[in-house]
Amino acid sequence: MKEVVLDTETTGISIKDGHRIVEIGCIELDNLVPTKNKFHCYLNPERKVSEKALEVHGYTDDFLAKQKKFKEVGEQFLDFIKDKRLIIHNAEFDLGHLNNELDILGKDKLNNEVVDTLILARDKFPGSPVSLDALCKRYRIDNSKRIHHTALIDCDLLAKVYINLIDQKEPTLNFQSQDQEIKNRNDLNVAYYKKIITPTEDEIKKHKEYLKLSLKKNYFS
């Protein structure tokens, strides 16, 4: 199954205060394995960034003023996510802002299936911190590059957190052969890996003979 891990950065929290999206990041997963397909863009929000938001992501008004507007990349974004399941941490926030941008363009709201990892984490660890940083710490995921909140870095971390949250420690890959599995393992940098080696009939026969002789020798000595 193909899914999309998604994150946004904005000029501020509330849509009611006119806040807009300044960055969108998406990473595609295929059976929980990140593919090479990514979508990323900075956006000109056509307004100033709040001081608190600037502290979070570090994108200045001057930098954002040089970027494309959402109306210029909206179709590319929709084409990327299509009808794939969306994996979002605190989905209400991101979806609210995305749907606001679509509404400004006169387009329909997103109707994709959504997995909110914030809700998953709250259900799994009631009463414990469930921010992305807290979950990275819990699962020993290196988040040292997260100096600021940036969409693609957050997506990469969230993909790893998501796999742990659903207790799928190993990607469920459909390989045609073990040789191909080894190749893909090297390409994908999977966290850990198990390979089942099946002994031949001759090896089983010799092993039984060895056990028979060994047990007899040890028992009667």
Domain presence at residue 182: no
Domain presence at residue 42: yes
Domain presence at residue 218: no
Percent of the chain with pLDDT over 90: 68
**Domain CATH number, residue 46:** 3.30.420.10
Question: In the chain, how many domains are there?
Answer: 1
The pLDDT value given to residue 59: 93
Distances (CA, A) of 23 to 97, 100, 162, 173: 11, 14, 21, 31
Domain presence at residue 175: no
Q: Whole domain around residue 63: which residue ranges?
A: 2-170
Residues whose CB is less than 8 angstroms from the CB of residue 39 and which lie 6 or more positions away in sequence, other chains included: 24, 25, 26, 76, 77, 80, 81
149 is catalytic: yes
Domain presence at residue 34: yes
- H-helix segments, the chain: 51-57, 61-65, 70-81, 91-104, 117-124, 132-138, 151-165, 178-188, 201-220
Domain presence at residue 208: no
pTM attached to this predicted model: 0.74
Domain presence at residue 177: no
Which DSSP string do the residues of 206-218 spell out, in sequence order? Answer: HHHHHHHHHHHHH
pLDDT band at 204 (very low <50, low <70, confident <90, very high): low
Average pLDDT of the segment spanning 158-176 = 71
Would you say 85 and 3 are in contact if contact means Cβ atoms under 8 Å apart?
yes
Predicted confidence (pLDDT) per residue in 61-104, tens digit: 999 999 999 999 999 999 999 999 999 999 999 999 999 999 99
The pLDDT value given to residue 211: 56
Average pLDDT of the segment spanning 172-186 = 45
Predicted confidence (pLDDT) per residue in 115-163, tens digit: 999 999 999 999 999 999 999 999 999 988 777 778 889 999 999 999 9
pLDDT band at 198 (very low <50, low <70, confident <90, very high): low
Kindly name the residue from 57, 89, 97, 149 that is annotated as catalytic.
149
Residue 10 has pLDDT above 50, yes or no: yes
Domain presence at residue 41: yes
Three-state DSSP class for residue 33: strand
144 C-beta neighbours (distance < 10 Å), count: 6
Average pLDDT of the segment spanning 30-52 = 96
Dist. CA 154–CA 144, nearest whole Å: 12
Query: Hey, what are 95's tokens?
Result: 């979806």
pLDDT band at 177 (very low <50, low <70, confident <90, very high): very low
